[in-house]
Homo-oligomer: A and B are copies of this chain.
Amino acid sequence: MSKLFNELMPYLEKSMAIDTALTLLSWDTETLAPQDAADYTAKVVGLLSGESFSSIVNDDVKKLLKELEKEKAQKELSENEKAIVRNLIRKMQQMEAIPKEDYQAYSEFAAKAQGIWARAKRADRYEDFAPVLEKMLDYQKKFAACRAKKGEDLYNLLLNDYEEGFTKKELDIFFSKIKESIIPLVKQVAAKSNAIDRSFLYGHYDIEKQKEFCRYIAGYVGFDFNRGVIAESEHPFTTNLHNHDVRITNHFHEDNLDSAIFSVIHESGHAIYEMGVSDELTQTPACNISMGMHESQSRFFENIIGRNHAFWEPIYKKLVSYFPEQLSDISLETFVHAINKAEPSLIRTESDELTYSLHILIRYEIECALFSGKATVKDLPELWKQKYKEYLGVTPKNDTEGVLQDVHWAMGSFGYFPSYAIGSAIAAQLYYYMKEHMPFEDYLKEGNLTVIRDFLRDHIHKYGSAKPTMELLKATTGEEFNAEYYIRYLTEKYTKLYDL
C-alpha cells in the first residue's frame, strides 16, 4: 500500500464508522423508533453528521488528496485505491464549500423532516409539510450555491450528484424522447383498457400470508437472509451497513396482492446489488453506487424479471397455494396480464411500467420549476394536479395521493427522481444485451436465476462505484447509454400485450 494512501486510511475508517451509525439511526427511525424520540435523536444525528463532515473535510485530507491526485502517486495505487481516491475527491468537491455548522444544523433538521412529512401525508395536511419543504429547499439551494461555479445551474449540480454526466440538457433530450413515444402508446393502451382485468388482485389477501410469500420470493430472486433482513415501513426502501448487512422494507395492503410482491422484488434488486459489492470495496467510499445504476438493478428485478411471463411459470402455483380461494380459478396467463396492465394512475410506486416514466417526468418538470423560480412551494399542490391531468389524464382528489405521496423531498433528495427513469433505461439496455448472449427466458422458466444474477454481479455489482456508471454500462454491453432500448422495450412489450 502506498504511504500516502496509508495516511488517508484513519480518516476513511472514522468517516465510514460514523456514516454506518448514521445509516442505522435512519433505518431505525423509519422502521422502529418510538414516535416521541424524534427531537432527541435528531440532535444525535446532527452531532454525528458534523463529525462525519469534519472526518473528511479537513486540511489533512485535502492535502493528502492533492498529493494522491498527482500522476506519480497514482502509479503507486492499486485499482481499488484509485477508485477510492476518485470517489473521495468527488465527495470533497460536494462538501468542502459548505460550512460545517450549517451542515450539522441541516442534518438535525432533516432527521425530523421525514416524520413531519409522514404525519402530514397521513392527515392530508400539505400546509403542515410546506414550511419544512421550504426550509429543505432553501438548504439545498444554499449548499448547491456554495459549490457552484459562476453561473452554474444549481439543479444541474444536484442532478449530477445522483448521476454523473446527467444535467438538464441530457435529461431534456431523454424525456422528450419519452414524451414523443410513450404518450401516444399510453393513449392507445388506455383505449383498450377493458382488454385486461386486474380486479381479482384486489379483495381480501391475508397480510401474514403475503408476508410469508414475500419472504419466499425475496429468497427466490436471490436475497440472502444470512446477510440481510426485511422489516416494514411507510415507504419501502433499501439500505445497508455494509455488504454483509443489507436491509429492505416492505409495506402491505390487505386489499391488494401485487403491491407488496413487486415492492419486495424491487427492493431485493437493490439488496442483491449491495450484497454483490466486493469485500474489498464495502466500507470504503468506492461503494457509493450512482442512483441510476442502483435503480437499474431494482427495476431490472422488479420488471424485466418480475413481470416476465417466464418468471412466473415455475412459481405461480406456489402463489396460488398461498391464496387458493382467490387464485385457483385464475390462469397463469390471466395473472401475468394483470400484473402488466397499464393504465394512468395517481401513485408512482404502484404504477405500471409503461406509465411509470410519466410519473417521473412530472416530478422532473416540477423540480426544474422549483429551482428556476417558476414555481414556489405554495404552488406545488396545484401544479401537481395540473401535470397529472396533462400527462396522465387523472387528477388526485387530495394531497395525500398527490404532492405528498413521495418521501424524497422530505429527505432533501432533489434531483433523485430522474434516476428512476435512467435506471429503467439502463435495465432495458442490459436486457437486450443479455437476451442476445444467454437464453434469458429459458433460465427464468427453469427457475434458474443464478446465471442471470452472476452475470450482473460479475459485470456490475462487484465493482460498487469503483467504475463510473456509464463506463460500467459500456464495458458490459459494449455500447454507450442508449435510451432507445427503453422505448423499444416498452413499445414491443405493450404492443404485444395489448395486440396493438
Interface residues of A (CB under 8 A from B): 13-14, 16-18, 20-22, 24-25, 28, 32-37, 39-41, 43-44, 47-48, 51, 225-229, 231, 241-246, 282-283
Given known A-B contacts A20-B44, A43-B283, A229-B32, A51 and B14 have beta carbons under 8 A apart: yes
Bound complex: CA A246 to CA B43 (Å): 16
The reply to whether B24 and A28 form a contact with Cβ atoms under 8 Å apart is: yes
Q: Which residues of B contact A229 (CB under 8 A)?
A: 32-34
The listed residue with most B CB atoms (<10 A of its CB), out of A28, A37, A225, is A37
Q: Which residues of B contact A22 (CB under 8 A)?
A: 21
Given known A-B contacts A34-B229, A229-B32, A21 and B44 have beta carbons under 8 A apart: yes
The reply to whether B40 and A241 form a contact with Cβ atoms under 8 Å apart is: yes
The reply to whether A282 and B245 form a contact with Cβ atoms under 8 Å apart is: no
Q: List 18 A-B contacts (CB under 8 A).
A: A14-B51, A18-B48, A20-B41, A21-B48, A24-B28, A28-B28, A32-B231, A33-B241, A33-B245, A34-B226, A34-B244, A35-B226, A37-B242, A40-B243, A40-B244, A40-B282, A41-B244, A41-B245
Bound complex: CA A43 to CA B225 (Å): 21
Secondary structure dominating the interface of A: helix
Q: Which residues of B contact A25 (CB under 8 A)?
A: 21, 24
Residue of B nearest to A242 (CB): B40
Q: Which residues of B contact A39 (CB under 8 A)?
A: 244
The reply to whether B51 and A17 form a contact with Cβ atoms under 8 Å apart is: yes
Bound complex: CA A242 to CA B25 (Å): 13
Q: Which residues of B contact A245 (CB under 8 A)?
A: 33-34, 36-37, 40-41
Give A182 Cβ to nearest chain B Cβ, in Å. Answer: 40
Residue of B nearest to A27 (CB): B28
Bound complex: CA A282 to CA B39 (Å): 13
Residue of B nearest to A283 (CB): B40
Bound complex: CA A34 to CA B27 (Å): 14
Give A336 Cβ to nearest chain B Cβ, in Å. Answer: 33
Q: Which of the residues B16, B48, B231, B283 comes within 8 Å of A17, measured between beta carbons?
A: B48
Q: Which residues of B contact A51 (CB under 8 A)?
A: 14, 17-18, 51
The 8 closest A-B pairs by CB, nearest first: A21-B21, A17-B47, A37-B245, A40-B242, A36-B226, A20-B44, A17-B44, A36-B227
Bound complex: CA A37 to CA B244 (Å): 5
The listed residue with most B CB atoms (<10 A of its CB), out of A36, A225, A229, is A36
Given known A-B contacts A21-B21, A47-B14, A37 and B283 have beta carbons under 8 A apart: no
Q: Which of the residues B14, B24, B225 comes within 8 Å of A21, measured between beta carbons?
A: B24
Q: Which of the residues B13, B41, B225, B244 comes within 8 Å of A242, measured between beta carbons?
A: B41
Bound complex: CA A380 to CA B155 (Å): 66
The reply to whether A16 and B40 form a contact with Cβ atoms under 8 Å apart is: no
Q: Which residues of B contact A20 (CB under 8 A)?
A: 41, 44
Residue of B nearest to A228 (CB): B34
Residue of B nearest to A246 (CB): B34
Q: Which residues of B contact A225 (CB under 8 A)?
A: 34
Bound complex: CA A178 to CA B246 (Å): 50
Residue of B nearest to A33 (CB): B245
Give A275 Cβ to nearest chain B Cβ, in Å. Answer: 10
Residue of B nearest to A38 (CB): B244
